[in-house]
Amino acid sequence: MATFYAQNVLGGLAYGSLLFLIAAGFTLIFGLMRIVNIAQTAFFLIGVYVGLMLLNHGVPFWVAVPIAGAAVAVLGLLIYRVLHPYHADELTSLLLTIGFTLMLEDAALAVWGGDPQSVPPPPALAFSVQLGTLVFPSYWLAMIGISLLIAAALFFVERRTTLGAVIRAGVDDEEMIRGLGIDVDRAFFIVFAIGAFLAGAGGLLGGPITGAYPGLDGELLPLAFAVIIIGGIGSLEGAYIGSLLIGLVGTFGKALFPQLSYFTIFVPVAAIMALRPQGLLGKKR
């Protein structure tokens, strides 16, 4: 019984940690620019594929991660150049990201084909650890740590740097910030690139857990939304806590109520929507 709980807690935390890498970028982009980036999970998908391609060419795992992230960041910037004039129009920018998602999904299929592919973890973490009666892949444990580190780094940037100040201020009042002479447009580009980078790097980091296949982005998108609703739009801490929560609920849901596991993820979501629409840690709008 203890093994059952331990396995599912760790599994849930690992999956939640993976979700954070998507949700973080999503919430940063939305928080600052009010853009609902539907393409965020498509960025993740491209990140896994690019990362896998790099691995197949012999690039070491930890080198491939930032490269994959950078590649997707470049892609993100190109997309943002089209989005930027519309960033104030929430609906148009959302619809544009939907259009881009359709394009990215099919482009990925054209380039990398439709076979589901597995992403090998870095050789140093390819073993499984034995914790009492529980056997658990070490990479999944590492995922929890990696995500925590990234979260910490993001919190640091948000709290202690000028960029972070602009982001936090921009979330509250864009006009005011512009009035102070701060180059908000540049901040927008940077943040979109960071959001895309996180998704892309997150793709390769998450790849050993999710694999790479057409439709991965579509499966992750509703989970990303669930995280954002629970954690609160625009809040990084909310994204982190929300991700772990969704990961845990999802995993236990599957173990205990397989036919309703999706539903069990969204019950807390619906509850938050009803009781506290701004999410656990979001700001009231």
Partner 1 sequence: MARVMRYVVTAAVVAVLAMGTGPAARGLAAGATPLKIGLLAPTTGVAAAPGHDMINGWKLWWAQHSTTVAGTAIDTTYYDTGSNPNQALTQARRAVEQDHVNLLIGPYLANEGLAVAPYAEEHQVPLFLPTVSADDLTQRKASQYVIKVAGWSSSQTTHPAGGWAYDKGYRKTVTIGDEYAFAYESVGGFAQTFTEKGGKVTKQLWVPLGTTDFSPYLSQVTAEHPDVVFVCVVGADAVHFLQQWTSFGLKAKVPLLVQETVTDQSSIRTLPPEDVVGIIAFSHYAEGRDDPATQRFIANYANAYHALPSYMAAGFFTAAEWIQLALEQVHGDVADQQAFLNAVRTVSVPDSPFGPQRLDPYGAPVENVYVRQVQRTPARYAGDAKTWNVVLKTYPGVSQFWTYNPAQYLKQPVYSNTFQGIAK
Partner 2 sequence: MRRPADSGRRRALIGVIAAGGIVLATLVPAFGLPQYYVSLLTQTCIYGIAAMSLDLLVGFTGLVSFSHAAFFGTSAYITALLLTRYGVTSFWAALVLALFGAAALAALFGLLAFRGEGVSFIIITLALNEIIWGLAYQWVDMSGGDNGITGFQRPVIAGMHLTGTPAYYLFCLAALVVCAGLLVTIVRSPFGLVLRGIRERPRRMAALGYPVNRFRYAAYVIAAVFAGVAGVLFAYYNEFVGPVNLSLDTTVQILIMVILGGTGTLLGPLAGAGVVVFVSNALSNITQRWELILGAMYVVILLYARDGLVGIARRVWRAAGRRAPAAPTHPALARENPEAEP
Helices (H), ranges, the chain: 2-33, 40-56, 61-83, 90-112, 138-160, 162-172, 174-179, 184-210, 216-231, 236-256, 261-275
Q: Is 172 in the site for partner 2 (CB under 8 A)?
A: no
**169 CB burial (10 A radius; 0-12, 13-18, 19+):** middle
Query: Shortest approach of partner 2 to residue 260 CB, angstroms?
Result: 6
Give the SS3 label for residue 137: strand
CB 39 within 8 A of CB 259: no
Q: Is 130 in the site for partner 1 (CB under 8 A)?
A: yes
**Among the listed residues 63, 88, 103, 109, the single contact to partner 1 using CB under 8 A:** 109
Residue 207's CB is within 10 A of a number of other CB atoms, namely: 28
Question: H or E segment at 131?
Answer: strand 128-131
**Among the listed residues 128, 148, 182, 190, the single contact to partner 1 using CB under 8 A:** 128
Span 185-224, contacts to partner 1 by CB under 8 A: 209-211, 213-216, 219
Residue carrying structure tokens 């390819």: 126
Q: Is 273 in the site for partner 2 (CB under 8 A)?
A: yes
Q: Is 258 in the site for partner 2 (CB under 8 A)?
A: yes
Q: Is 158 in the site for partner 2 (CB under 8 A)?
A: no
Site string for partner 1, 231-270 (x = CB under 8 A): -------------------xxx-xx--xx-xx--------
Altogether, the residues listed in the chain come to a count of: 285
Give the SS3 label for residue 134: strand
CB 19 within 8 A of CB 265: no
CB contact set of 87 (below 8 Å; sequence gap of 6+): 33, 34, 35, 93, 188
Q: Is 278 in the site for partner 1 (CB under 8 A)?
A: no
Q: Is 233 in the site for partner 2 (CB under 8 A)?
A: yes
**How many residues bind partner 1, per CB under 8 A?**
41
**Among the listed residues 94, 148, 157, 163, the single contact to partner 2 using CB under 8 A:** 94
Span 48-67, contacts to partner 1 by CB under 8 A: none
For residues 180 and 273, which CB has a smaller minimum distance to partner 2 in the complex?
273
**C-alpha span between 61 and 55 (Å, rounded):** 6
CB 10 within 8 A of CB 141: yes
Contacting positions for partner 2 (CB under 8 A): 30, 34, 36, 82, 90-92, 94-96, 98-103, 105-107, 110, 218, 221-222, 225-226, 228-229, 233, 258-263, 265-266, 269-270, 273-274, 277, 285
Contacting positions for partner 1 (CB under 8 A): 1, 3-4, 7-8, 11, 15, 106, 109, 113-118, 120, 128, 130, 133, 135-137, 139-140, 209-211, 213-216, 219, 250-252, 254-255, 258-259, 261-262
